[in-house]
Structure 1
C-alpha cells in the first residue's frame, strides 16, 4: 500500500516531536561515579559535583556552537594541554571538571621523565584559568619556572588555536 504525501509528512513530524521530547531539560550529571584518581581531584571537588547541560533537546545539536567552552572548561586550553603534553601517556582526562592526569614520560630531547596534572579552572582563555603541576620520576615537584614554562607553552598554543578558528 502506498502512503499519501500528507500522511508521510505527518509521520515524519510525529517522529521529530518524539525525538525532541527526549531532550535533557536542565537535568544534572553527577561526577561521583568518576574513576578515582591518585590525588582525588575529581571526586573531592564540591564545585563540580553537579554539572548542568546547556543543550536542552535534539534540535539544539543542529544549531551553531560558537562557544569557547564546554561546561566549565575552555575548549582551547583543553585541546592545547593535550597537544603540548602529547609525549606523556594519558592516564585520566575529565573535560567536565577540567582535570588531565598523565603518567611518566620523557620529553623529546630530554633525559628525565616527568608526569603532569593539569587543571583548567575557568572557562576564560587566561593564565589564571590554568594550573599545571609537574613531578619528576623521583616524586619531587619541578621548579616553579619549569611549570610556568609549560603553562606558557599551553597558553600560546591555545591562542594559536583560537586565532586559527577565527580565520575559518
Structure 2
C-alpha cells in the first residue's frame, strides 16, 4: 500500500492537478507582474526593454532636443541687434526683446520672435512687433523685417556650406 501511494499520490501524473493550469493561476500571475512593474516604475528601477519596433518609434525626448533652425535663430539676433534682448529660450525657439529704435528711425519697437521648426522656411518664423505706445506695427514693416531675417539666414547657410 505504501508503494501505491508513493506512485499515485505525488501529483506528478498526466492528469494531476499541478499539470493543468487554472485561470486563477494566470490571473494571480498577471496581477503580480502588474504590481512588480508598477513598483519598478514608481521607484525608478524599471529596466528598459526594447523590441524591434523601437526602431520605428520616435525615441527623442522633446524636453532635451532642440528643434530650432540655427540660421533663422542667428539671423534674427543679427537683424534685430538694435533691440536689447530680454530673454531667449533656444529650446522653445522664443526670443523676446525690449524697446529699441532702429538706425535712422524715430519710433521705438519691441519684438517677439518664434522659430518653431528646424527647416529654413518662412513658415518656421513668426514675428510679432509693437510700438512703445502699444500700437500695432504696419504689416509692411513686419514683412520687411521677416524678409531681412530670411535673407540673412540664407546668406549664413551659404557661408556655412562653403566651409
TM-score above 0.5, yes or no: yes
* Unaligned stretches of 5+ residues in structure 1: 1-25, 29-49, 54-70
Structure whose residues are more often helix by fraction: 2
Structure whose residues are more often strand by fraction: 1
The CA RMSD measured in Å over matched residues stands at 1.4
The structure with the largest alpha-carbon Rg is 2
State the alpha-carbon separation in 1 of the partners of residues 105 and 140 from structure 2.
17
Equivalent of residue 149 in structure 1, options 119, 144, 153: 144
| Alignment-derived partner of residue 139 in structure 1 | 134
On the 8 A contact 1:106/1:112 being kept in 2, the answer is yes
| Alignment-derived partner of residue 119 in structure 1 | 114
| Alignment-derived partner of residue 51 in structure 1 | 63
* Unaligned stretches of 5+ residues in structure 2: 1-58
CA offset digits 1:46-93 (Å, max 9, x no partner): xxxx4234xxxxxxxxxxxxxxxxx11000000000000000000011
| Alignment-derived partner of residue 78 in structure 1 | 73
1:27–1:76: structure 2 CA closer, same or farther, 3 Å change rule?
Answer: closer
After TM superposition, which residue ranges in structure 1, 4 or more long, deviate above 2 angstroms? none
Q: Provide the TM-score with structure 2 as the length reference.
A: 0.62
